[in-house]
C-alpha cells in the first residue's frame, strides 16, 4: 500500500492487523522481533481478548478493533437489517472495552465502523467494506501524524539526540521518514520500557530499520545517560492528551519528565488532544496483572511470595510538559483550548 510502503515492517498495515477470509491476523508484538508470528482471531471476541493480552499495543489496537468490526460483519453474514445492526452494535461495545484507559478512543473507532455499516447492512461483502474502511482510517491516521511529524521537525537541531518512551508507533515511523528526508544527524535513545520492553523491541527496531542511529538503555539509566551524554529533548506519544495539558502514557513517562526537567531538557508529547477528556480524572488507569511485572519473556525473576505492581499508565502533569506537538502546530500544555478552537468539532482522528 502506498501510504505505508516505505515504513518499517511492523508499521505496514498487513503486519499490524488485517482481516481476510473470516480471520483477523495480528502481529504478535509480545514476541516480535525475536520471532515473527501472528495471532489468528476467528471471532471479534478473540480480537478483544488479543487486545487485553497485549498481542498488539500502542496504536495497533485501533487498527485491530477496526478489523474486528470487519470480522463481526463476517460473523453476522446470515443476519439482515436490524438484527445485523444489533449484532454489530454489541460487537462494537465488546471491542471498545478491550482496555479501559483507551476505551473512549476505541469507541470512536468502532462507532466509525458502525456508521459505515448502517449504509450497507444487507451487502454480502460488508466485511470487505469494513476492512477497506479500516485501511482508509489507518491511512488517514498516518496522514494526520505525518503532519505532526513535520511540525515536530521545527524542534530538532541539525545534529542532536532524542530520547523516547515506550512505542509511539505512527509518530516514530513518520518522524524517522522526515528526518531521513531532511538529512539531519539525529540519534535516538530508547529506554527499554519494562515489563513488555516496547522501547527496546519496537521503537528501536523501527528506528534502526529506517536507518537512524539508535541506542537502547535500561529504564534505570535515564538520569545517568542525560547527565553524561546529554539529549536535545525528550518525547513521547500519548494514550490520552487531556485538555488540561496532562499526558497519560506508558508508566515511566512521568519519571522521565521529572528527570528531564531537572536537567533542563524540554519534554514534548505528540498526538491529537482528546477534546472530550478534560483531565486524567475522566479516565480509568488500567491495572495490569501484577505477575506481569515479575517476569520478562515468560521467565519469572522472583521467588514465590514476592508481590508485583503494574499500572499500565501514569499521568504527567502539565507543568512538566513543555508542549504538545499536534497536526495543527505546537501548543503549550496549558493552552490546548487554542487547539480546540482551531480544530472545531470532531472525533478522535481514528474515526471516519
Helices 126-152 and 60-75 pack at an angle, to 10 degrees, of 170
User: pLDDT tens, 213-233?
Assistant: 999 999 999 999 999 999 999
**CA 41 to CA 108: how far, in whole Å?**
22
Q: What are phi and psi of 174, to 5 degrees?
A: -70, -40
Confidence (pLDDT) at 126: 98
What one-character DSSP code corresponds to residue 311? B
User: pLDDT tens, 284-329?
Assistant: 999 999 999 998 878 899 999 999 999 999 999 999 999 999 999 9
Cα-trace Rg, the chain: 20
Catalytic residue among 4, 239, 274, 327: 239
**CA 102 to CA 107: how far, in whole Å?**
9
Q: Which grid cell is 256?
A: 522521565
Confidence (pLDDT) at 345: 54
**CA 263 to CA 265: how far, in whole Å?**
6
Confidence (pLDDT) at 217: 98
**CA 103 to CA 280: how far, in whole Å?**
13
Confidence (pLDDT) at 283: 94
Q: Grid coordinates 505532526 are at which residue?
A: 148
Q: Which grid cell is 47?
A: 480480537
40: buried, middle or exposed (CB in 10 Å: 19+, 13-18, 0-12)?
A: exposed
* Overall pTM surpassing 0.95 (yes/no): no
**CA 47 to CA 29: how far, in whole Å?**
14
Q: Is 244 a catalytic residue?
A: no
Confidence (pLDDT) at 3: 80
> What are the percentages of helix, strand and coil residues in the chain, rounded to 5?
45, 15, 35
User: What would the mean pLDDT of 53-61 be, rounded to a whole number?
Assistant: 94
Give, in order, the Cα–Cα distances in Å from 146 to each of 94, 99, 173, 175, 176.
30, 26, 9, 8, 10
Confidence (pLDDT) at 143: 93
User: pLDDT tens, 7-55?
Assistant: 999 999 999 999 999 999 999 999 999 999 999 999 999 999 999 999 9
pLDDT at position 352 over 50:
no
Confidence (pLDDT) at 298: 80
Q: Which grid cell is 303?
A: 521467588
Q: Among residues of the chain, what percentage have pLDDT more than 70?
A: 97
User: pLDDT tens, 65-107?
Assistant: 999 999 999 999 999 999 999 999 999 999 999 999 889 999 9
Q: Which residues have C-beta within 8 Å of that of residue 200, sequence separation ≥ 6?
A: 190, 192, 193, 216
Confidence (pLDDT) at 296: 82
Confidence (pLDDT) at 4: 84
What one-character DSSP code corresponds to residue 283? S
User: pLDDT tens, 151-184?
Assistant: 999 999 999 999 999 999 999 999 999 999 999 9
User: pLDDT tens, 176-215?
Assistant: 999 999 999 999 999 999 999 999 999 999 999 999 999 9
Q: Which residues have C-beta within 8 Å of that of residue 78, sequence separation ≥ 6?
A: none
156: buried, middle or exposed (CB in 10 Å: 19+, 13-18, 0-12)?
A: middle
What one-character DSSP code corresponds to residue 299? E
Alpha carbon dihedral 95, 100, 101, 105, in 10-degree steps, equals: 30
Neighbours of 181 (CB within 10 A): 10
Mean pLDDT estimate for the chain: 94
**CA 277 to CA 214: how far, in whole Å?**
34
Alpha carbon dihedral 217, 222, 227, 232, in 10-degree steps, equals: 90
**CA 339 to CA 336: how far, in whole Å?**
5
Amino acid at each position: 500500500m502506498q501510504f505505508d510502503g516505505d515504513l518499517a515492517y511492523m508499521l505496514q498495515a498487513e503486519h499490524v492487523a488485517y482481516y481476510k477470509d473470516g480471520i483477523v491476523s495480528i502481529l504478535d508484538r509480545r514476541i516480535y522481533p525475536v520471532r515473527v508470528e501472528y495471532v489468528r482471531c476467528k471471532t471479534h471476541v478473540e480480537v478483544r481478548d488479543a487486545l487485553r493480552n497485549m498481542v498488539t499495543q500502542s496504536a495497533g489496537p485501533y487498527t485491530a478493533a477496526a478489523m474486528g468490526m470487519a470480522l463481526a460483519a463476517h460473523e453476522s453474514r446470515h443476519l439482515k437489517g436490524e438484527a445485523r445492526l444489533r449484532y454489530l452494535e454489541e460487537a462494537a461495545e465488546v471491542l471498545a472495552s478491550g482496555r479501559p484507559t483507551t476505551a473512549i478512543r476505541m469507541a470512536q473507532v468502532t462507532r466509525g465502523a458502525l456508521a459505515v455499516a448502517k449504509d450497507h447492512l444487507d451487502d454480502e461483502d460488508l466485511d470487505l467494506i469494513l476492512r477497506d474502511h479500516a485501511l482508509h482510517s489507518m491511512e488517514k491516521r498516518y496522514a494526520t501524524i505525518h503532519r505532526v511529524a513535520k511540525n515536530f521537525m521545527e524542534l530538532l537541531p541539525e545534529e542532536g539526540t532524542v530520547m523516547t518512551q515506550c512505542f509511539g508507533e505512527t509518530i516514530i515511523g513518520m518522524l524517522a521518514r522526515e528526518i531521513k528526508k531532511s538529512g539531519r544527524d539525529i540519534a535516538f535513545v530508547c529506554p527499554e520500557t519494562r515489563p513488555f520492553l516496547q522501547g527496546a523491541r519496537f521503537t528501536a527496531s523501527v528506528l534502526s530499520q529506517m536507518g537512524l542511529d539508535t541506542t537502547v538503555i535500561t529504564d534505570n539509566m535515564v538520569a545517568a545517560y542525560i547527565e553524561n551524554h546529554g539529549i536535545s529533548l525528550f518525547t513521547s506519544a500519548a494514550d490520552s492528551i487531556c485538555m488540561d495539558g496532562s499526558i497519560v502514557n506508558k508508566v515511566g513517562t512521568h519519571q522521565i519528565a521529572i528527570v528531564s526537567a531537572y536537567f533542563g531538557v524540554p519534554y514534548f508529547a505528540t498526538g491529537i488532544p482528546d477534546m472530550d477528556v478534560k483531565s486524567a480524572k475522566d479516565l480509568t488507569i488500567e491495572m495490569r496483572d501484577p505477575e506481569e511485572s515479575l517476569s520478562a519473556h515468560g521467565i519469572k525473576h522472583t521467588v514465590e511470595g514476592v508481590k508485583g505492581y503494574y499500572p499500565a499508565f501514569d499521568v504527567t502533569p502539565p507543568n512538566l510538559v513543555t508542549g504538545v506537538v499536534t497536526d495543527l502546530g505546537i501548543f503549550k500544555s496549558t493552552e490546548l483550548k487554542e487547539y480546540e478552537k482551531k480544530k472545531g468539532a470532531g472525533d478522535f482522528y481514528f474515526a471516519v
